[in-house]
Structure 1
Amino acid sequence: MSIKRIDVGARMSGAVVHGNTVYLAGQVGEGATVTEQCKDALAEVDRLLAAAGSDKSKILQTLIYLSDISDFAEMNAAWEAWVDPANTPARATSEAKLAAPKYKVEFIVTAAI
């Protein structure tokens, strides 16, 4: 079975397609607030899924990391405004130290094609 890599970089690819599944690298966004970062990161999720031949209605699982779990409600509001309500994925959210202090939220997505 072939493997297709999207947005290949020296350290990682933005997405990897294997069979009928696409795996996205962790997506973070720019902005001062959790809401701004969510919107930016989720727009990148949309872009990568489209490049792989998928979309948010086909997301199987999302792992969400917050640098501060007290931002859970704000993240949920942004998520609920974005996610396909008829096709919500399995999801987990945890608090974690992210790659840089400016990042407040990171999304890791696996989707069907």
Structure 2
Amino acid sequence: MSADLTAATSPADLVTRFGGSARAALATVAGGAGFFAVTPQAPYDDNLTTAEQAQQLFAKAEARLREIGSDKGAMMFATILLRDISDVAEFNAVWDAWVADVAPPARACFEARLASPAMKVELIIVAACAPADTAG
């Protein structure tokens, strides 16, 4: 075990949490990686298309990336959860535009029953980031 790990009083000391509630942090950072999920702007509007909800996700993701000392170009992995997998082409069109100016991350896309029937897409991101004590 390295000296850095033994200096911590517990493994939890190695994790920095950003915002959130008693249920979940908005983001976590450990070992130079940040982890978070974003949803469309609440309250979720079922009248918006998947592409429009995705645009909301991307804006929230970029803000969260900045908060943890990262940026879009440092994304390492994205998990895309679609309410209806038949919307994947619509999602891909806006995703491709969003990542056009960076090297895109690895990604996976799944159909899933999301927490709200009005939510059409959710995004989980893992990104490289500055150590928490130097972020932001």
Deviation for aligned residue 1:19: 2.0
Q: CA RMSD in A?
A: 1.3
Paired with 1:68 and 1:41, the residues of 2 have a C-alpha distance of 17
Deviation for aligned residue 1:84: 4.5
Paired AA for residue 38 in structure 2: Q
Match of 2:115 among 99, 110, 113: 99
Deviation for aligned residue 1:8: 2.3
- For residue 67 of structure 2, what is the aligned residue in structure 1? 51
For 1:19-38, what aligned pairs fall within 5 Å after superposition? Answer: 19-24=31-36, 26-30=37-41, 31=45, 32-38=48-54
Structure 1: runs of 5 or more not aligned: none
Paired AA for residue 27 in structure 1: V
For 1:77-92, what aligned pairs fall within 5 Å after superposition? Answer: 77-92=93-108
Q: Indicate the structure with greater strand content.
A: 1
Task: Tell me which structure has the larger Cα radius of gyration.
Answer: 2
- For residue 19 of structure 2, what is the aligned residue in structure 1? 7
Does the 8 Å contact 2:72/2:102 carry over to 1?
A: no
Paired AA for residue 3 in structure 1: V
Paired with 2:54 and 2:15, the residues of 1 have a C-alpha distance of 29
Task: Give the alignment's TM-score, normalised by structure 1.
Answer: 0.92
Aligned residues: 112
Structure 2: runs of 5 or more not aligned: 6-13, 130-136
- Runs of 4+ aligned structure 1 residues displaced above 6 Å come to none
